[in-house]
Amino acid sequence: MSETPPEARSSPRVAAPVSESGRIHAIDSLRGFAVLGILIVNIWSFAWVSSAYRNPSSAPGGGIGGTDFWIWAAVNVFADTKFISIFSLLFGAGIAMMSERMDRRGIPGGRLHYRRQFWLLVIGLLHAYGIWHGDILVPYALCGFILYGFRGWAPRRLLWAGGCAVGIVVLVMGLADWSIPYWPAGDRAEVAAQWAPSAAEIGAEIEAMRGGWAQQMPVRAYYAFLVETVAFAGYLVWRAGGLMLVGMALYKLGVLSARWPASFYRRLVLWGLGLGLPLAAAGVWYNVEAGFAWEQSKLGGTLFNYVGSVGVFLGYVGLVMLLARTGRLARARLRLAAVGRMAFTNYIAQSVLCSLVFYGHGLGLFERVGGAGCVGIVVAIWGLQLAWSPWWLARFRFGPLEWLWRTLSYGQRQPMRIA
């Protein structure tokens, strides 16, 4: 994201951010594709009550229906878990890339890596508790602390370890789903209350999120803490962490650099989407047939998309790599690459914009915008970020948050403006 500073050019043992000539533009495009895609999933957490995304029947007014339901279903099939999986893949690839670059320069990369994760953790905490509780930066930073020691493994070993980590969740959720009839009555009642909150609880959440920033804090803090503890230990460290290991392997193999034959990426698209999309769609059908009863939908119904999303996101990776390999849609890929180079800034900017639209310190449209309206907001933000990212990078070496993160990580102010 920056030209190598003069002191780095004069001494190969000085740590510095990757130069423009060292960037892998296929990865930048894939990262831009992912950061835009996750907005179509995240926006529902900004716009609707917390329980509605997993259980649309719990939404105010008797649940999500009509056009809103079909939009929800499409997002669930084509986007939910898919784009965040690509993000996890790329985070792992980033760890491997930085380690490889430091090794080439003969510089021990551990201290730099852990400083990067520390500052990512700090920024993530500010994001989670100050803007939006669905933050993913804190879990990623925690995974980064854990996984650095695996970076030197051979690709096959990384693939096996990552696949097993992702598969552990399937095993645990499957066993938990099978055991539901044997749960104590009190535990069943508690889960049922979380899956479908009472009208009073939903009303309290709506009132809080339409209120001022301080009034929102208890809701935001409650869910952010759950993500960083229960969800991290039971789900994210396995799913996200496992995919980070897979990302390290795919980077080492050159899969993410569009270096494999076009036929390989075509097969990845056909098999990934061909198997993954029907499985994700079957999950929606299963949950609808079950009436979104928690006994069927919370665990068993979720597994359809959990497994199907692996095929879908790999299909998306294959599609982006195929476009890079064949040179098609060059202008669109350049804009996507610019969005990807500023993924950190664009991710936080999405949260800031959505909070100003939906929360009480802004327009206060929480639970006042339907599915079509949310899609319209997403498209508007996409257009804004596809326009402003290349404009910014024509003038500056980094996005604003990328510059801050690198300055903090390297311990010295990074050059910002392009001469």
* pLDDT tens, position by position, 95-113: 999 988 887 877 777 899 9
Model pLDDT, residue 15: 55
- Cα 13 to chain centroid, rounded: 33
Task: Indicate whether 371 belongs to any domain.
Answer: yes
Look-up of token digits 């933000």: 381
Task: Quote the CA–CA distance of 320 and 301 in Å, as a whole number.
Answer: 29
Model pLDDT, residue 17: 55
Task: Indicate whether 352 belongs to any domain.
Answer: yes
For 197, list phi and psi in degrees, rounded to 5.
Answer: -60, 155
Strand partners, 417: 396
Structure tokens at 110: 């551990």
- Sign, CA dihedral 148-149-153-157, equals negative
Task: Quote the CA–CA distance of 159 and 170 in Å, as a whole number.
Answer: 17
Q: How crowded is residue 113: how many other Cβ atoms within 10 Å of its Cβ? A: 20
The candidate with the shortest Cα–Cα distance to 154, out of 240, 245, 261, is: 245
Model pLDDT, residue 375: 97
Model pLDDT, residue 65: 87
Task: Indicate whether 4 belongs to any domain.
Answer: no
Q: What is the pLDDT along the chain (419 residues), one digit of tens a residue?
A: 333 343 344 345 555 555 555 578 899 999 999 999 999 999 999 999 999 989 999 999 888 889 999 999 999 999 999 999 999 999 999 999 998 888 787 777 789 999 999 999 999 999 999 999 999 999 999 999 999 999 999 999 999 999 999 999 999 999 999 999 999 999 999 999 999 999 999 999 999 999 999 999 999 999 999 999 999 999 999 999 999 999 999 999 999 999 999 999 999 999 999 999 999 999 999 999 999 999 999 999 999 999 999 999 999 999 999 999 887 888 889 999 999 999 999 999 999 999 999 999 999 999 999 999 999 999 999 999 999 999 999 999 999 999 999 999 988 999 999 87
Q: Which residues contact residue 144 at a Cβ distance below 8 angstroms, ignoring those fewer than 6 apart? A: 91, 95, 113, 116, 117, 120, 244
Task: Indicate whether 144 belongs to any domain.
Answer: yes
What letter does residue 417 receive in the DSSP assignment? Answer: B
Q: How many domains does the chain have?
A: 1
Task: Indicate whether 396 belongs to any domain.
Answer: yes
Model pLDDT, residue 8: 40
Cut 0.85: pTM above it: yes
Look-up of token digits 């050059």: 415
**Long-range CB contacts for residues 70-77, cutoff 8 Å, separation at least 24:** 70/371, 71/371, 71/372, 71/374, 71/375, 72/44, 72/371, 73/284, 75/40, 75/41, 75/44, 76/280, 76/283, 76/284, 76/305, 77/277, 77/280, 77/281, 77/284, 77/305
Helices 213-226 and 110-130, axial angle in degrees (round to 10): 130
Q: Determine the structural domain holding residue 189 and report its residue range.
A: 20-410
Structure tokens at 242: 């496992």
Task: Indicate whether 81 belongs to any domain.
Answer: yes
- Cα 44 to chain centroid, rounded: 14
Residue 104: Cβ-neighbour burial (10 angstroms; 0-12, 13-18, 19+): exposed
Structure tokens at 12: 């190969």
Task: Quote the CA–CA distance of 339 and 380 in Å, as a whole number.
Answer: 15
Task: Quote the CA–CA distance of 275 and 318 in Å, as a whole number.
Answer: 14
Task: Indicate whether 3 belongs to any domain.
Answer: no
What letter does residue 227 receive in the DSSP assignment? Answer: I
Model pLDDT, residue 110: 85
Element housing 144 (H / E) = helix 137-147
Task: Indicate whether 30 belongs to any domain.
Answer: yes
Model pLDDT, residue 384: 97
